[in-house]
Structure 1
Amino acid sequence: MSWTAAILLAIGAFALAAFVLRAPRRGWEAIGAALLLGIAGYALQASPGVPAAPKAPRERVGGNADAWVEARSQVTKSGIPPSDRWVIIADALARNGQFASAAEILRGATSADPKNGEAWLAMANALVSHADGTLTPASLYAYRRAAAAAPEHPGPPYFLGLAMAQSGRLEEAGTLWRRLLEQTPPDAPWLADLQGKIEQLDAIVAAQRSGSPAR
């Protein structure tokens, strides 16, 4: 019965993503692969015949990606419109560490609508997470497309600066963030976070120049 339930759940999840949420057809393979991976993990690790025993929760895999998804929601404050159902699917994949699958879903979304800035931004973040926090040419291209699609959107410069900082391009990140700070309204919910990041970045850069460790 447990196997039947697992297979039916996987089929139902695929049908929901493909036909109800209308994920792009080119992303169906990625969704199917993610579901098959889940079934394979169940086959390797599940023990349906063993009585349940409560355990302390473990730290989630892909917590960094989960933080990036939440941060994008906080910075944009725009929500995801119904037409961006594939962004919702991609966010769910990214939260579970399936960055390549998320990027593939978003690639289909941006092919269908090249002006979808939210999808470009989500793709850029997924690509950065897939590269272990490194800014790659593909993610840089996605950030630039996101900025071109929505020039007034704070998300692209905010997250591009974050990716630059993680990749060691500190001064470039500082320049980008200071430019964003000049354009940020005083009541923006991300203002304090942005100011704090700039102060931390400036301290690190100053410490590197002086040869002393940053505090």
Structure 2
Amino acid sequence: MVIWIILLAMTAAAVMAVLWPLSRHYAVTRQADPDTRFYREQIAEIERDQARGVLMPSEAEAAKAEAGRRLLRATGLHGEAYAAVGEPALRRRRAASTLALSIIPILALATYEIYGSPQALTQAPAAQIAQQAGNVDFMTAVAQIESHLAKNPQDGRGWEVIAPVYIRMGRMDDAVRAYQAAVRYQPPDADRFANLGEVMVMAKDGLVSAEAQAAFEQAVKLDASSPKARFYLARAAVQDGQVDKAKAAYAQLLASSPPDAPWVEAVKQELAALDVPAGQGGENRIGPEAIAGMVAGLASRLEAQGGTAEEWARLMRSYAVLGQRDKAMAAARRAREALAQDSAALKTIDTMAQELKLTDAQP
């Protein structure tokens, strides 16, 4: 608000600087009348002649009196004439001033709105500079780490540092490769394997692939209490159709966790999705019926209209996530029939079947 007041004051000052010379007083006082100027100069000349002794004092007084009378007559006549002429001009000048003071700022604001950057006033310049500098510094740091790792590919710690950065940037495939390198070039560690498995799940839209499950199993071997690995292994059991095993794993994880552990709520939601009461946390979930309905809609569309290899693979994965392995294997067989003439598509289906561990559905 302050900036707009300052700008308005500056605009008004600029307009008045232009309009002030047009004011009535300023113009009238500077109008040159030939008659009055002549008589004033005549009086001054008489005074100079008297000072030089050219005129006697009595003669000078008489001459000045006559010049003074003529000056008064000239002044009175032209004062009335100036008043008569000045009033309409004054009204015009006042109208021009009013229009200028109102229209000029409005036009300036409209032009600024169209061609300027009014949104720049909503954020302090220092904040903008800091944000831009932060973005530049962040990207510069990432580039420097990547350059270092290109020259030192066996720096496991460097790969572990940049992996979460890739996740933040949405570069999931790069994050998977970074965690794989971190595991490869550093001593075995449960958290490291659990992080590798988790980013694999994220890259597969929630699917616990065979590779991810292997990473979680390795984490549990190194630390049987690893909550992240135990959580995802229970989800893998659901995908494999082993619902009872998954329920037991979730219940054990919930029982061994502190009440305020950050993963407790997620465990409760998973149990609720399996129709197992687990206290608070299950009332805000999307019900299994809704999820099953969406999957059924996808299956119906693919059966009626066909689809791409990626859509068939998504259907297989959805059935696996719901723990319906038989339907996942049936979808794999149906996909191979529909895509029999496309070798690349068949490869996509085979790869998904391997990730889902659908061995019975292999050709």
Instruction: Sort the TM-score into its range (normalised by shorter chain).
Output: 0.5 to 0.7
Cα pair 1:144 1:156 within 8 Å, conserved: yes
The whole-number CA distance in structure 2 between the counterparts of 1:175 and 1:143 is: 17
1:202 corresponding residue in structure 2 = 275
Are 2:87 and 1:87 equivalent residues in the alignment? no
Cα RMSD of the aligned pairs, angstroms, is 4.0
* Cα 1:17/1:149, change in 2 over 3 Å: farther
The structure richer in helix per residue is: 2
Residue number among 26, 29, 54 corresponding to 2:153 in the alignment: 26
1:151 to 213, 219, 224: 224
TM-score of the aligned structures, taking structure 2 as reference length: 0.33
1:190 aligns with 2:319: no
**CA deviation vs aligned residue, 1:13-56 (integer Å, no higher than 9, x gap):** 3323554xx7994379xxxxxxxxxxxxxxxxxxxxxxxxxxxx
Give the distance between the partners of 1:156 and 1:182, measured in 2 at CA.
16
Give the unaligned 5+ runs of structure 1: 1-5, 29-82, 204-211
The alpha carbon displacement at 1:129 in A equals 2.1
Q: Does the CA contact (< 8 Å) of 1:93 and 1:99 recur in 2?
A: yes
Task: Describe the shift of the 1:187–1:99 C-alpha distance in structure 2 as closer, same or farther (beyond 3 A).
Answer: closer
Distance 2:201 2:165 in 1: 16
**Residues 128 and 136 (structure 1), Cα distance of their counterparts in 2 relative to 1, 3 Å cut:** same
Give the residue type in structure 2 aligned to 1:125: E
Query: Which protein is bigger by CA-based radius of gyration?
Result: 2
Q: Residues 113 and 12 of structure 1: is their aligned pair in 2 closer, same or farther, counting only changes over 3 Å?
A: closer
Aligned-partner Cα distance in 2 for 1:202–1:84: 42
Partner AA of 2:234 in structure 1: G
CA-CA distance at 1:134 after TM superposition:
1.7
Match of 2:142 in 1: 13
- Structure with larger RCO (C-alpha < 8 A, sep 6+): 1
Contact 2:191 2:226 in 1 (8 A): no
Q: Which amino acid aligns with 2:217?
A: R
TM-score by length of 1: 0.53
How many corresponding residue pairs? 147
Over the matched positions of the two proteins, sequence identity in percent amounts to 20
Q: Contact 2:157/2:186 (CA < 8 Å) preserved in 1?
A: no
**Other structure's SS at 2:274 match:** helix
Structure 2 vs 1, CA of residues 187 and 140 (structure 1 numbering), >3 Å: closer, same or farther? same
Report SS of the residue matched to 1:97: coil
1:160 corresponds to 2:219: no
